[in-house]
Amino acid sequence: MDRYCVFGNPIGHSKSPQIHRLFAEQTGQALSYDARLAPLDDFAGNAREFFVEGLGGNVTVPFKEDAYRLATELSERARRAGAVNTLKKLEGGGLLGDNTDGAGLTRDLRVNHGVVLRGARILVLGAGGAVRGILEPFLGQQPACIVIANRTASKAEQLAGEFKDLGDVRGGGFDLRDEPFDLIVNGTSASLAGELPPIDPALIKPGHTVCYDMMYGKDVTAFNRWAAEHGAARCIDGLGMLVEQAAEAFLLWRGVRPDSAPVLEELRRQLKG
Ligand code: ATR
């Protein structure tokens, strides 16, 4: 049986094994997919051991940078992200490092929610690893501009500078004054602390702006609640991004794109239940 896995620490909460087993069932692909608790100080050793037999792996917190270093080849989006969430064994034993997070988010927005990114004014909140991973795929959609706002303004400015060859990207603090945006994406980890990025609600145009929180949970996230209170046309959480990044990885490994809709529906049902 072809073997795949997800590496993480902790890993018990991961939904990836269930998602990939559902994809495999749906597409009639014979494969196994397990969760692997890699030691914090030896991701590389653990991954090498797995890849003696294994064909592909996903990588989650805190190993995405380690996986980037382990890969012998990188996709352009992984190189830009500085992080790898998907590894694929190559003929000859090398390891391809890819990053499907941004493509997953982009696909969730465009395909599942019909959001047009071309020509859009996009505000991205946060300047950490999660945001770095989405900038290349977003810019590939040719938005009018991307503004990155972060608690530590200098980090946003630096990140914007690294991507400015790909489009109109600017960075700054949360105190930005600007026209309302078409799309606002929360990529900060503020919700984990039950906090909100303190941005001006006038950046939402009531009935027009789409808000997207890369986090998800049983209940509506703090950011999406705030967005709804200020009239956002739609408030979307990151569960679709999770399923779509997995679908992109499955496509890379197996050459078949699974139908994400029934899997997303099942996960949503479980999350609510
Ligand atoms: P991740 O991989 O989830 O992006 P990270 O690289 O540690 O994690 O980045 C966390 C992001 O959330 C950063 O942009 C961080 O802001 P700083 O760069 O100023 O630290 C942001 N963040 C974390 N807690 C926050 C909070 N309570 N309010 C606003 N932003 C927060």
pLDDT at 116 over 90: yes
The distance in angstroms from the start CA to the end CA of the chain is 33
Helices (H), the chain: 16-27, 43-50, 64-70, 76-81, 101-107, 129-140, 153-163, 222-229, 239-254, 260-272
Tens-digit pLDDT profile for residues 224-234:
999 999 999 99
The CATH number of 102-237, from 3.40.50.300, 3.20.20.70, 3.40.50.720, 3.30.565.10, is 3.40.50.720
Residues 6 or more apart whose CB falls under 8 angstroms from that of 116 comprise 110
Tens-digit pLDDT profile for residues 135-155:
999 999 999 999 999 999 999
Which class in CATH covers the domain with range 2-99+242-272? alpha beta
Tell me, using a 6 A CB cutoff, whether residue 85 lines ligand 1: no
d(CA 72, CA 65): 13
Tens-digit pLDDT profile for residues 53-106:
999 999 999 999 999 999 999 999 999 999 999 999 999 989 999 999 999 999
* Ligand 1 pocket mutation, candidates 64, 151, 152, 154, criterion most atoms within 8 A of CB: 151
Judge if 2-99+242-272 and 102-237 fold alike in CATH terms: yes
Give the residue whose CA is nearest to atom 28 of ligand 1.
190
- Residue ranges per domain, the chain? 2-99+242-272, 102-237
Whether 164 is catalytic is no
| CA 197 to ligand 1: nearest atom | 29
Q: What pTM, to 2 d.p., does this model score?
A: 0.96
* Local confidence band at 168 (pLDDT 50, 70, 90 cut-offs): very high
